[in-house]
Amino acid sequence: MNDTRRWLDRHTANAPPVLRSRVLRYADTPMRGELATHLADAGVRALAEVEAHPGDRSAALDLLAADALVTLALLAKAQQDPSGLHRFAGELLHSATTSTP
């Protein structure tokens, strides 16, 4: 088990199993860069899935996973580089608002 998976296991242990499984599925890609960025990218992939099914209630779990992944990305950044959290959060917000049609 790699460090990313151990970190995720520790921080999602109390999540509902179905949500935890979905979060882990999105995060289960080769990691490039730091953990916070990896989790944020996974959140973006989850949101893309939601956008592919607008108005479809079956995408609700993916929306919850996206929210959880962004929250986990912010937590990871706060743990790894507290002084960079503000900048990282701003970058996430900026990328979210500029990529929306």
Distance between first and last Cα of the chain: 39
Give the mean pLDDT of 74-99: 89
Say how far apart CA 68 and CA 61 lie, in whole Å.
Answer: 10
Task: State the pLDDT at residue 1.
Answer: 57
Neighbours of 24 (CB within 10 A): 16
Task: State the pLDDT at residue 55.
Answer: 77
Residue pLDDT, tens place only, 11-54? 999 999 999 999 999 999 988 889 999 999 999 999 989 888 87
- The pTM of the full predicted model, rounded to 2 decimals, is 0.89
Q: Is the pLDDT of residue 101 over 50?
A: no
Structure tokens at 36: 């916070």
Say how far apart CA 54 and CA 1 lie, in whole Å.
Answer: 35
Structure tokens at 99: 């990529």
Q: Decide: 72 and 5 in contact? Cβ < 8 Å.
A: no
Q: Is the pLDDT of residue 82 over 80?
A: yes
